[in-house]
Amino acid sequence: MKTITSQFIDEIKTSATSIGIDERTEATKGIIDFVATAFASAHNPSIQKLITALIKEHGSGESMIVGYNETLTASDAALVNGYILHYLDYDDVHSDLRGHASSIILPSLLSFCQNKSFQFQHFLDSYIIGIEVAARIGRTIGSNHYESGWHSSSTIGALAATMACAYLLDLDNDTCANALGITITTTSGLRAQFGTDVKPLHIGLAAQKAYNAIMLSQDNTIVGNKDLLPTFYEVYSQHQNVPSALFELNNGQLAIIQPGLWFKLYPCCSANYHAIDATKSLLEKHSITTQNIRKINVIFPPNGDAALTFKHPTNGLEGRFSVEYVIAKLIKNRQLTIHDFSDVPIEQSIATIMLNIERHYDGLITPSENALPTGRFTIVEIILNSQQKYRMRINAPKGSPNAPLNQNELLEKLKQYAPWQARHIEDLKTIKNTEDFKLYIKPGGRK
């Protein structure tokens, strides 16, 4: 009789047969955002310090670092590329996971492409498979996993990347199950690190764990428990058994389509995005200034702000996870920039505005069917000194699958941070293998 883990692997492989043009089109959008986000983080001193430390410890290796000319060992490249992609919190989100899957899956896949070339379509399909695994576990693990303090991008994303790499390499069920067991026993990541550089390190370590788990499972180098998926649910969720929904598509579609990826317009936590859209709308429609505001109320469903851990941030890094900060910045500056979320102290004028912002929770408000994540909304209510009250509710922010970016909006980040790749965007349609893909994502592109 097959184990639960082996049954899951079978189901995921079967679901791969439904990958078609639409799924690969959506995955290509993820690739575009992957390149733009990586190049947006380039030349950051913290990233360079990590690269230098790893070269000093392990040597330079031959595996590429996206946006850099240096090379690392394959394992270290997975770590650094994941770190780069999440460093600014500018990377895409999948709402089923409640986190960032692409930034773990793609670096681990890329590390296996150094010494062997794969068909680019197969690379895309492996990415799609990783997203599917992340979404299925994310949907079925239960909200308590995240709300109790686990960083689900790290804990679940590592499993997704492991399965994606197993699919890329066409590993048999036994080897894949062993790799999943290794990843599960090493999974980690706590939300208490939000607002620090350890949060993007979670992503890099998860990518590295996936790479290492596959590498150690090939040729039976390390053999362990090959049915650890039930234990994962027992330890990390409130379920005593693996939910049957883990073996099912969401509304008959793969997760790359339903609900799809959420692409970011700002380098901050996506849980802020509802409030950002609501505040921008109110500022556009009404005469609101820092001088005429008496109070601002921000209303969430219960635990709707679980990721927004800072009510009184002291710098821009913490501000990425503060609804008070993004609203105050918008009120004062009418825009958000990449520099607003750097490791610099918050100016006094912003801190003063934040003092007038309060969070509230209402479990009686009916969520919209269009809401993303499911059941979520944010209401921003601005009360002026004149007692005039303005209120805006957002259920699905711009960039989320239910309010998607158009092609030009998606390409804007690429144009800004990776102009060569943007000018040669049509090349993505003709890339045949991963060797060509690696040339495309080199600094400055093909030479």
**Strand stretches in 177-323, DSSP E:** 293-300
**Please, are residues 357 and 82 in contact by the beta-carbon 8 Å criterion?**
no
Give the pLDDT score at 42.
86
Give the pLDDT score at 446.
63
Q: What are the beta bridge partners of residue 110?
A: none
Q: Among residues 376, 172, 132, 139, which one has the least CA distance to residue 254?
A: 132
Evaluated on CA atoms 161, 163, 164, 168, the torsion sign reads positive
The answer for residues whose C-beta is within 8 angstroms of residue 53's C-beta and 6 or more apart is: none
Rounded to an integer, what distance in angstroms lies between the CA atom of residue 52 and that of residue 60?
A: 9
Largest CA distance in the chain: 73
Q: Among residues 115, 328, 103, which one has the least CA distance to residue 202?
A: 103
Global pTM reads 0.96
Rounded to an integer, what distance in angstroms lies between the CA atom of residue 96 and that of residue 259?
A: 8
Mean pLDDT by 10 residues, the chain (447 residues): 96 97 97 97 92 96 94 98 97 96 98 96 98 98 94 98 98 98 97 95 98 96 97 92 94 96 96 98 95 96 95 96 98 96 95 97 96 95 96 97 94 96 94 96 76
Give the pLDDT score at 240.
83
Q: Give all domains of the chain, ordered by start, each with its CATH number.
A: 4-265+415-441 (1.10.4100.10), 270-394 (3.30.1330.120)
DSSP string, 353-420: HHTTEEEEE-SSSPPPTT-SSTT--EEEEEEETTS-EEEEEESS-TTSTTS---HHHHHHHHHHH-HH
Give the pLDDT score at 445.
66
